Amino acid sequence: MPPTAFLKGKRISLRALSETDADGPYIGWFNDTEVCRGNSHHVFPYTRAAALEYIRSAAQVRTSLILAIVLNDDQHHIGNIALQDIHPLHRTAELSLVIGERDQWGKGLAGEASQLIVAHGFNELNLRRIACGTFGSNVAMQKLALRLGMKEEGRRRAAVFKSGICEDVIEYGLLREEFNESIK
């Protein structure tokens, strides 16, 4: 049985990853070129063994908070979200997410999940800065970063190679005080 909700929103909850997730559609997401078009996945085949290794390590590491995104109504696992590279001295982290279930795209669920984890990062983990980087072609993530109140901070030109082309990575950042101001 999957773990209970760690953070709960109106339509989705965030919970710890469970080994049972490796038996669902999870593996297929990272073998799907369209799901992985705007991220660094889909370079090597993703296997159940790799998923299990990742899930087990996610439960042990304290420099990342990696959570499953599930629908509240049926607990269907639709994606993952994380605060990664949490630095205790600098009090910074990197936001990353994937909505693997294509039928859930465009419904605002990534935004709801991001609001939950960003608020948790600032309010409970005492972070002072959360950043994210996304491919120049990943317009959905760029819009999400701006909706979260992130500021575009720069562009790393031709920083990644994906699907036969070099892509820029656009960097965004959000400070705690900016987030607190945006929720007033």
Tell me which residue range forms the domain holding 43. Answer: 5-182
pLDDT, one tens digit per residue, over 14-45 is: 999 999 999 989 889 988 888 877 777 766 78
Residue in 85, 81, 110, 109 with CA at minimum distance from that of residue 96: 81
Q: What is the mean pLDDT of residues 129-158?
A: 95
Per-position DSSP letters for 4-53, written without gaps between them: PEEEE-SSEEEEE--GGGGGTTHHHHTT-TTTTTTSS--SS---HHHHHH
2 pLDDT more than 60: no
Cβ atoms of residues 167 and 136 within 8 Å:
yes
The torsion defined by the Cα of 39, 40, 42 and 47, in degrees rounded to 10, comes to -110
Output the pTM of the full model. 0.92
pLDDT, one tens digit per residue, over 144-168 is: 999 999 999 999 999 999 888 899 9
pLDDT, one tens digit per residue, over 100-114 is: 999 999 999 999 999
Q: What is the mean pLDDT of residues 38-53?
A: 82
Q: Per residue in 63-76, is it b (16+ CB within 10 Å) or e — as a string?
A: ebbbbbbbeeeeee
pLDDT band of 184, cuts 50, 70, 90:
low
Beta bridge partners of 16: 67
Cβ atoms of residues 130 and 95 within 8 Å:
yes
Residue 101's pLDDT is 94
For the four alpha carbons of 22, 41, 99 and 126, in that order, the dihedral sign comes to positive
Residue 182's pLDDT is 75
Helices 109-123 and 139-147: crossing angle in degrees, nearest 10, is 50
Beta strands in the chain (DSSP E): 5-8, 12-16, 65-71, 77-87, 92-99, 129-135, 151-162, 165-175
**Gap between the Cα atoms of 132 and 119, Å rounded:** 15
Residue in 164, 168, 128 with CA at minimum distance from that of residue 152: 168
CATH at 105:
3.40.630.30
How many structural domains are present in the chain?
A: 1
**Gap between the Cα atoms of 184 and 109, Å rounded:** 22
> Which of 42-46, 84-88, 122-126 is predicted with the least confidence, judged by mean pLDDT?
42-46
Average per-residue pLDDT in the chain?
Answer: 92
**Gap between the Cα atoms of 57 and 110, Å rounded:** 23
Residue 44's pLDDT is 74
131 pLDDT more than 60: yes
What the block records as the tokens of 28 is 């297929």
